[in-house]
Amino acid sequence: MAPERSQETVTLTNGSLNSNGHYVEPLMKHPLPDIDRPYTYEVIEQSSRFLLERTKHRPRIGIICGSGLGGLAELLKEKDVFPYEEIPNFPASTVPGHAGRMVIGLLEDVPVICMQGRFHCYEGYALWKCAMPVRVMKLTGVTHIIVTNAAGGLNPAYNVGDIMLLKDHINMQGFAGDSPLKGRNDERFGPRFPAMNNSYDQRLRQLAKQVAKDIGIDQYIREGVYVMLGGPAYETVAELRLLRMLGVDAVGMSTVPEVMVARHCGMTVFAFSLITNECITDYDAQGEANHEEVIETANKRQNDLNLFVTRVVSSMASEMTSANGKNGSVDEN
């Protein structure tokens, strides 16, 4: 519609015309476009309050379930289940193998909050939005987070079905100037310039290795470096060869934003990749990476992984109890 010139100023969608008919930019409250403007503390608080008002549990341990690994949430007892579409400010989960629910309950007798399905940037979400549930967990009382994913094995010594404990990651998006921590920083979450070395807690890795030994799956345990690429396409041979030269052991499409946000707000992090497929680094190979294989491997390894995570959570809760007299629940404060 043509603007009305006879008025002093005329409002357009993004700005206005002044009395001389010149377009005037709208006053920007913040110099960043929406995609780089993360939810405020108050918005995150609204989501966490929604959960706290609807569950009696007060977990200090959070779990993010990767592709095909959401079966763990089914094991929770006395559980309260919240589909993402019911939680204020939550995005929708759109990927097969990601149920899209927050489940809060008891794993054995330890209270946990479990994301049954996560958000990926290839679904169209900004990195901060992919990781926003971590801040929601933080404000519900979570201090320790277990992040899991399905990943392609790039280290030639790895086999499909292995469990790689993350000792580090490469934040490839960061190389290109993107970050889940981009935009205005709220010190209530954490500092403007957080350190990222020692992101993957050494003690929890030791504990997990001991658990793997105790339950007889230590032959599958590896320790390595994970890289997140944007996806959704799997990698080319040349890309994989480059990543291997950079020291990458496993390739995926998630986890790094969540871990960065968790570390920013002071959480202790344990993360592992289930190696669901072998990365193809040979031009003559006939096979192709595909999501069906990823889900199939995850299903095959489900029982071992469920037991592994259950025991890791029990051991973590025992250590938290002996450290400060709390059993993994903020109830006990």
Ligand X SMILES: O=P(O)(O)O[C@@H]1C[C@H](O)[C@@H](CO)O1
State the residues that interact with ligand HPA by CB under 6 A.
Answer: 150-152, 234-235, 251-253, 276-277, 279, 289, 294
Answer whether the bond into residue 31 is a cis peptide, omega within 30°: no
Q: Please report how close the Cβ of residue 93 comes to ligand X at its closest, in angstroms.
A: 10
Indicate whether 294 belongs to the interface with ligand X (CB under 6 A).
Answer: yes
Indicate whether 291 belongs to the interface with ligand X (CB under 6 A).
Answer: yes
Which option in ligand HPA, ligand X, none does residue 249 bind, with CB closer than 5 to 8 A by kind? none
Q: Which is nearer to ligand HPA, 80 or 278 (CB)?
A: 278
Q: Which is nearer to ligand X, 61 or 256 (CB)?
A: 256
What lies within 8 Å, CB to CB, of 173 at 6+ separation is: 121, 127, 179, 228, 230, 256, 257
Per-residue contact string for residues 243-272; x = within reach of ligand X by CB under 6 A: ---------xxx------------------
How many angstroms separate the CA atoms of 224 and 200, rounded?
Answer: 11
Q: Please report how close the Cβ of residue 232 comes to ligand HPA at its closest, in angstroms.
A: 9
Tracing tokens 């929770």 back to the chain, one arrives at 76
Beta bridge partners, 82, equal 102
Which option in ligand HPA, ligand X, none does residue 152 bind, with CB closer than 5 to 8 A by kind? ligand HPA
Asked if residue 84 lies in contact with residue 47, where contact means CB atoms within 8 angstroms, the answer is no
Q: Which is nearer to ligand HPA, 19 or 236 (CB)?
A: 236
User: Under DSSP, is residue 69 helix (H, G, I), strand (E, B) or coil?
Assistant: coil
Indicate whether 49 belongs to the interface with ligand X (CB under 6 A).
Answer: no
How many angstroms separate the CA atoms of 251 and 239, rounded?
Answer: 11
Nearest to 118 by CA among 71, 61, 76, 66: 66
CA distances in angstroms from 160 to 151, 164, 260, 266, 288, listed in the order given: 10, 11, 27, 33, 14
How many angstroms separate the CA atoms of 228 and 150, rounded?
Answer: 11
How many chain residues interact with ligand X (CB under 6 A)?
13
Q: Tell me the two tokens of residue 288.
A: 């192709």
Which option in ligand X, ligand HPA, none does residue 279 bind, with CB closer than 5 to 8 A by kind? ligand HPA
Asked if residue 190 lies in contact with residue 134, where contact means CB atoms within 8 angstroms, the answer is no
Q: Which is nearer to ligand X, 113 or 253 (CB)?
A: 253
> Which member of 48, 55, 149, 329 binds ligand X (CB under 6 A)?
149
Q: Which is nearer to ligand HPA, 110 or 154 (CB)?
A: 154
Indicate whether 229 belongs to the interface with ligand X (CB under 6 A).
Answer: no
Residues 50-69 that bind ligand X (CB under 6 A): 66-67
Report which residue's Cβ sits closest to ligand X: 66
Indicate whether 110 belongs to the interface with ligand X (CB under 6 A).
Answer: no
Asked if residue 93 lies in contact with residue 99, where contact means CB atoms within 8 angstroms, the answer is yes
Which option in ligand X, ligand HPA, none does residue 254 bind, with CB closer than 5 to 8 A by kind? ligand X
Q: CB atoms < 10 A from the CB of 36, how many?
A: 16
Q: Please report how close the Cβ of residue 251 comes to ligand HPA at its closest, in angstroms.
A: 4
Please report, as ranges, the residues that interact with ligand X according to CB under 6 A: 66-67, 95, 118, 120, 149-150, 231, 252-254, 291, 294
